[in-house]
């Protein structure tokens, strides 16, 4: 059996045939940093070979599900000298691996979203098979407001979950939706009162775990061919454009303004 609890920033607890994964950087609202990205990649890979797990719950510790990439870390590393190739490789390879791991993992994964799910955090939630969201939660793809192309899993997941025109609007603006509106547009299966979120998400996970695993996993694998085909169409282009904007002055300005709590000034370069 895999050691799912070997990563600092992800708590893991297996209860019978259900694995509960908790993003655990509550002091940073579970921003993806430390070993979280690496941990998610490795855990999803391990699950491909673990028949003792039939369903997975992904949630976040504290007040948020996940606020995305660690913007303060972006600002701290802005001065690090990398070649354009090294920067592109860093962004594209790790993001592409994580998307592929979500598509390939055989067990159904349920996301329970409370508080904030922003940027990469929204992508993590939407790459799960079922999303349950608190009514007062906030979800958004915040790449563009931080000066980045929304080119990773957001470009893949949002247009499949909601009307195409609405997906374009929310990806281009980074505007937030509350849980009720997210469920109305199709981003989430349902919105529930915050105090009921964990119980309802666990009920769905246990329901999925109790079903015939070959049938559930085969159905997921079949449907995920749509995701895989769409990923092959979009991901390389989107990630390369996103990686290019990591090098832009606008992104550096957005990260600095965030840390300094001021209004950014963008120059389109």
Give the pLDDT mean for 42-54. 97
Give domain status of residue 266, yes or no. Answer: no
Looking up residue 66, the CATH number of its domain turns out to be 3.90.226.10
Which residues in the chain belong to E strands, given as ranges? 10-15, 18-23, 55-60, 109-113, 116-118, 130-134, 138-140, 177-178, 190-192
Residue 158 lies in a domain: yes
Indicate the pTM of the whole model: 0.91
Does residue 75 carry a pLDDT above 80?
no
What tokens were used for 22? 């908790």
- Cα→Cα distances 128→34, 58, 224, 244, Å: 22, 8, 11, 27
Give the number of domains in the chain.
1
Q: How far is CA 158 from CA 28, 87, 168, 169, in A?
A: 25, 26, 8, 10
Residue 46 lies in a domain: yes
37 found inside a domain: yes
- Of all residues in the chain, what percent carry a pLDDT higher than 70? 92
- What pLDDT is stored for residue 230 in this prediction? 95
- Determine whether 79 is exposed, middle or buried from the number of CB atoms within 10 Å of its CB (0-12, 13-18, 19+): exposed
- Residue 142, in any domain of the structure: yes
> Mean pLDDT, the chain, as a whole number?
92
């Amino acid at each position: 059996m895999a050691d799912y609890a070997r990563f600092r920033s992800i708590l893991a607890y297996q209860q019978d045939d259900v694995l509960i994964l908790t993003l655990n950087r509550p002091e940073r609202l579970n921003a993806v940093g430390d070993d979280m990205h690496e941990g998610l990649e490795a855990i999803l890979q391990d699950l491909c070979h673990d028949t003792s797990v039939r369903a997975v719950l992904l949630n976040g510790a504290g007040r948020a599900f996940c606020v995305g990439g660690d913007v303060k870390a972006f600002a701290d590393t802005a001065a690090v000298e990398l070649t354009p190739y090294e920067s592109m490789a860093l962004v594209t390879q790790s993001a592409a691996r994580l998307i592929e791991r979500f598509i390939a993992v055989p067990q159904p994964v349920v996301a329970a979203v409370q508080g904030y799910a922003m940027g990469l955090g929204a992508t993590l939630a939407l790459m799960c098979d079922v999303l349950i969201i608190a009514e007062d939660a906030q979800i958004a793809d915040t790449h563009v407001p931080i000066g980045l192309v929304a080119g990773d899993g957001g470009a893949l997941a949002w247009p499949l979950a909601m009307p195409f025109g609405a997906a374009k609007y929310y990806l281009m603006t980074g505007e937030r939706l509350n849980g009720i509106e997210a469920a109305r547009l199709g981003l989430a299966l349902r919105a529930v009162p915050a105090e009921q979120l964990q119980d309802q998400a666990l009920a769905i996970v246990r329901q999925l775990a109790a079903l015939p695993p070959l049938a559930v996993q085969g159905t997921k694998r079949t449907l995920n061919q749509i995701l895989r085909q769409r990923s092959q169409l979009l991901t390389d282009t989107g990630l390369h454009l996103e990686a290019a904007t990591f090098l832009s002055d606008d992104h550096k300005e957005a990260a600095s303004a965030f840390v300094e709590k001021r209004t950014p000034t963008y120059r389109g370069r």
